[in-house]
Every structure is written in C-alpha cells, then in structure tokens.
Amino acid sequence: MTNPRQLAFITLRDVHKGAYADVALDRVLQKVSLPDSDRRLLTELVYGSVRRQRTLDTLIDQLAKKKSHQQPPDLRTILHLGFYQLRYQERIPASAAVNTTVQLAKENGFSGLTGFVNGLLRQYLRKAGGTNEQEGRGAEEKDSLLLPQSPIPSSQSPIPHFDPLELPENPVERLGILHSFPDWIVQVWLEQLGLADTEKLCEWMNQSPTIDLRINPLRTSIKEVEAALQSVGVLVRRIPHLPQALRFIGNTGSIQKLPGFKEGWWTVQDASAQLVGHLLDPQPGEVVIDVCAAPGGKTTHIAELMADKGKIWACDRTPSRLRKLQENSKRLNLQSIQICTGDSRHLNQFQNTADRVLLDAPCSGLGTMHRHADARWRQTPASVQELSVLQRELITHTSTFVKPGGVLVYATCTLHPAENEEIISAFLAESPDWQIESDSGVELPDFTDSTPQGWFKLWPHRQDIDGFFMVRLRKNNNSE
C-alpha cells in the first residue's frame, strides 16, 4: 500500500488509541517505500492533524449534527484528514481534498456514510466561499480550484466573515480553539506574555520544525561541513553567536545519509540546547556530571567544549536511552564520557566531586511542542505538578555533587513557571550556600538577555528557536 492518505489514516488511528505520533509514523514508514513527495505529504497530514486536533474537532461539532466525540472513532479520524487539507493545505485543490476523503470513508468501512462526509466537507467550503457550485462550471475548472488558507485573525482584528470556524469571545477559549491548544496551556502563556504575544507563540508552535546541527570542532570545521553539505545540494545557514550551529534550509532527505554524519563531524541539536552547554562553560581537565544525560546531545557537547579532556559522568536511569548516548559518543569519537546507570536522586557516590553539574531536568516540554505534535494533548496541569516534584528532588540532591565554588546549570525545554522560576526560587530559599551567577563572564547571544532575577528564558516566537529556561548557580567557596 502506497497511498499517503490511507497511510496517514492508519497512523492516526494508532495515535488516537494512545501511540506516540512519531513512533506510529515511523512504524508505518518502515513498512513502505514512498517517493519523497508522498513521504512529506504523509508526515504533514499526520503531524498536522494531531496538532490541529481541537480545531478539527470543533469544526465537526459546529457543522455536523453529532459532536466529534459521538462520531465513530475511525470516521472522526477521516474527517480530521479532510478538514485539515481544506483548512491548512493551500496547495491541495479543494476538490482533491474532498474526493480523497470520501474515498477513505468508502475504503475503511463507511460506504454508507460517504454522502455525509461529502456533504460536511462541502458545507465547510460553501461557508468559506471556496467553491462555486453553480451549474455550467466545467469539471476541469472545478478541479483546479484552490481553497485559499483562511487568514488567521489577529487579536485586534475581527474574525474574517469567510472563516467557517465560529469562535467564542473568551480569549483563552478563542486562542485554544483557533490555534488548537488546551485552555490551560494558553492560560499559562497569557499570564506571562499577554494576548498579542501569546497568539504569536501559538502560531509559531504550529509551524513545522526546523532542524539545527552542531558541528564537532574536534573533527572538522564549520566551513568544511558547509562545503560537504553544499556538495550534495543541501543548504544550511549559520546561527549568529553560536560557533558550532548550522540550520538546514529546505528538504534534507535522510539525515543519517548526509556527508559527515557517519564520520562524526556533526550531530543534530537545536540552537537553544547548544546554549545550555555554553552557559555551563566546562573547562578541559574538569569533572562534570550530567545528571539526566540521555540521549546525550548536551553530554557530547560538554565533551567537545572541554576538548575531550577531563571526566564527564553521564547519569540516567534508562539503560536503552544511555545506549543511544554511547552510540553518539562513539560516532563523534569522544573518550571522556563515563556512563552511570541510575536515578540521580539516589546516587550518593558523587558528593562534592564535580566542578560543574548540568541538570537538564525532565519536563513537560512546552517549549518544544512544534517538534512533538501530541505533547499538548499528553501533558496536563497534574502532570506538570508531578514533574515539578521530581525537579525539586533532583536539584536538592544533585546540588550536593558540586564542590565548594563549583557551578550547577539548571535547564528545561518548558515555558511553565512551576517547572522553572518556582523551582529555582524554592531551591535558593532552602539553600543559603547557593546563588544565581548572572555575571559569569560567559558570552551568550544578545537575544539571551538575562532577566532581572538572573535566569534566561528563550521565547520561540521572538528568537525562532525552541523555548528554553536556564539558570547558572554557584556554590559558595566556604560551603561544607
């Protein structure tokens, strides 16, 4: 089977049963051989339909007699695919989106409901002003029609009259339905950013993610990597102030097949994550502990920054993820990394042994939701609360690993104060021998200006990189 829409339906059916979107998609892709264009369409339909799930459900709620949750689950999935193409895929002709969705219904047990599917999607098009169903219009002309993507209303402007999606007045619900986020996430951002910035952040999080790489300066130079990629027609651009960072422009094909990957010249790592290593600023010959290390992006960066001289303990409680770290270390030809399997909250052998500790804490990932299509539906206020307990336990125990005068960097890829500012404030209130070191002498890009409190918060819609929080803490020299 090589029909990308049918494959998208199969993948989404698994996701709606609880599978992770990337795992379900990978499983399907491994079973088939698709041209690049079909592979991209399949990926776009799966991730897009998962991201926009709330908006697509609301369209069903508003246009059908039965609400989305009352529809047969597989039919709901098919309708998601149809509405996603009509609303968000301006390159797909409206007629093609409708016809292929009707065909999906026919082929997946809903032959008796093809009229309903056809009628519902055409009702959307009529409301959007995207079709002209007057008699006498040629079939060929109809097929060439493109439905323009409905303009997204800004926080100031009225909703365009031709957007079939009806939105409530309440700003939290309005943004949640329009951009497809749970209300609680919108609320968390509104409290920090205000309405206009929250809308921009929501829009940014619904974009397809870019891919950044980090060159390995122990094996190559940024110029060599640029030239090698250019030789196979892959374009990259540099990211200002990040000496090892390149960003892919356009389609790359299989990452592992690109020149320099097998040779260990570079690895994939977002620009935000690279900033964490620079803030830690490890020096050759030091002892560094990465307490939540797997799968190893930041660990290997630490080794590169130390010129692979010194000792890095990479700790994690998940052996399978640590194996990935070992594979990456081997590929990058790094010798300074030692593996320690175990929960860092219960490791006692490292007390007062580290010059620097990195606590890249497990978090809700609200800063990287564009990369993880289903993360917004998996996290809840309760899961954030559970994570904040884990984060407090981790920082309380792993801070004891640091020698007097040493440094601890706390970092997350979330934008929730309960996992960031509140963790650090509580830790400092209980730990008089620690303080924030805002003037460390480490040069970070202009866009990472420290807050008055001394921590760094990276907002994706402002800096065009993953959302991150990071802070550098120093232990007093006279600590016991």
Q: Name the residue among 160, 61, 38 with its Cα closest to residue 120.
A: 61
Q: What tokens does 193 get?
A: 């950013």
Give the C-alpha separation, 304 to 336, whole Å.
Answer: 10
Contact between 475 and 433 (Cβ < 8 Å): yes
Tokens 């009225």 sit on residue: 158
Q: Active-site residue among 202, 315, 363, 413?
A: 413
Single-letter amino acid code for the residue at 108:
N
Q: Which helix (H) or strand (E) holds 41?
A: helix 36-51
Compute the 3-state secondary structure of the chain and give helix, strand, coil in percent, each to the nearest 5.
Answer: 50, 15, 40
Give the C-alpha separation, 33 to 397, whole Å.
Answer: 49
Q: What is the dihedral of CA 151, 157, 159, 160, to 10 degrees?
A: -50
Q: Kind of pairing, strands 402-412 and 354-360?
A: parallel
Contact between 370 and 204 (Cβ < 8 Å): yes
Give the C-alpha separation, 84 to 52, whole Å.
Answer: 8
- Whether omega for the bond prior to residue 295 falls within 30 degrees of 0, making it cis, is yes
Contact between 74 and 85 (Cβ < 8 Å): no
**Does the CA dihedral 330-334-340-343 come out positive or negative?**
negative
- Catalytic-residue membership of 413: yes
Contact between 39 and 75 (Cβ < 8 Å): no
Please list the active-site residues. Answer: 413
